[in-house]
Amino acid sequence: MHALQFSLAALTLTLLSAAAAQSAPNVTITTTKDGYQVPAQVPAGYVHFTLKNDTDRPAEIQLFKLNPGVSADTLKSAVAALATDPGDNSADVEARIINSSELYGGVPELAAKANYDFTVNLEPGTYVVSTTSSNGDEKNPQALANLGYFQTFEVTKGDNAAAAPKADYRLQLADFALAFPATNIAAGQHTWEVVNDGRQPHFVMIMPVKPGKTEADVMKFMMSDGPSGTQDESPISMDETHGGGVISPGKTTYIDMNLAPGNYFAVCFVTDPKTKMPHAMLGMTRFFSVK
Ligand SMILES: [Cu+2]
């Protein structure tokens, strides 16, 4: 009897340590003033990414997996084209990106000196870390992808048997809707399972609605001719953004998000190839509150 109890305890310990050993390996990607620092090799399976911004301005970090037979330069030229204001051609340029890669998430906007954590299941292949942002120089706009912000890394099959993280909340992205959990959303640090159940790529940007501002204020601002107003006039606080980068249909990311109590606006700005409209105009906007 004692022996059995002992062996059960030993078995439990073995199982517990096996479960602990299977937490997702951590990979850090750092944005520096010269580009991204990325490890050359990353194991396939569930990987926890810590994205860091060591610069003094906001950064975008997006993960792409090159489709078989597609060169990194093909993707680079498409990413660079989207960065330097394609105007009415954004749907065509986005199609070039979508046809050459699968999108594995990231962060649409990471504040200066901030960190961002998410987990995603990686298949073996060649991946790219890049951004569709420009250097913001109106006189001489250049794609950051052409200024060092385009790095590749290899994902190789190893012994990573980590399970999917346990999620507190689920956010479903669809054509064209954002479906938030029906339950109350609690303030604080939580893991969000973000699923793309649509047939187009989607992302989600989440921004606080300023106190005293209504949903109507936000929608009116969204429908206006772009962000011509100053930050003071905006009904949403654009210096505090949450959410996740673009994911291809069928993909899931697990985002660690820390939301303070308040009202939030969620939106996706990918362009619909049929109507050439941003998804935001087709239904991908939602308001939710955190208590
Ligand atoms: Cu979308």
Sorting pLDDT into bands at 50, 70 and 90, what band is 224?
A: confident
Tokens of 58: 């906001």
By CB atoms closer than 10 A (0-12, 13-18, 19+), residue 174 is middle
DSSP letters spanning 38-73: --SEEESEEEEEEEEE-SSS-EEEEEEEEPTT--HH
Tokens 């951004």, located at residue: 131
The environment of the single-atom ion ligand 1, i.e. residues with CB closer than 5 A, is: 202, 268, 270, 279, 284
The CA 62 to ligand 1 mean position distance, Å, reads 15
Rounded to the nearest whole angstrom, what is the distance from the C-alpha of residue 252 to the centroid of ligand 1? 14
Q: pLDDT at position 22, please?
A: 78
Which residues, 6+ apart, have CB-to-CB distance to 154 below 8 Å?
Answer: 40, 41, 42, 125, 126, 127
Instruction: Report yes or no on 217 lying in a domain.
Output: yes
Q: Per the structure block, which two tokens stand in for 169?
A: 């909340």
Per-residue pLDDT of 129-159, as tens digits, reads 999 999 988 899 999 999 999 999 999 999 9
Could you say which of 158, 188, 207 is where a domain stops? 158
Q: Is the pLDDT of residue 59 over 80?
A: yes
Identify the pLDDT of residue 45: 97
Looking at the fold, whether 187 and 110 belong to one and the same domain comes out as no
Give the CATH number, domain containing residue 148.
2.60.40.420
The parent domain of residue 110 ranges over 25-158
Q: How many CB atoms are closer than 10 A to CB 48? A: 18
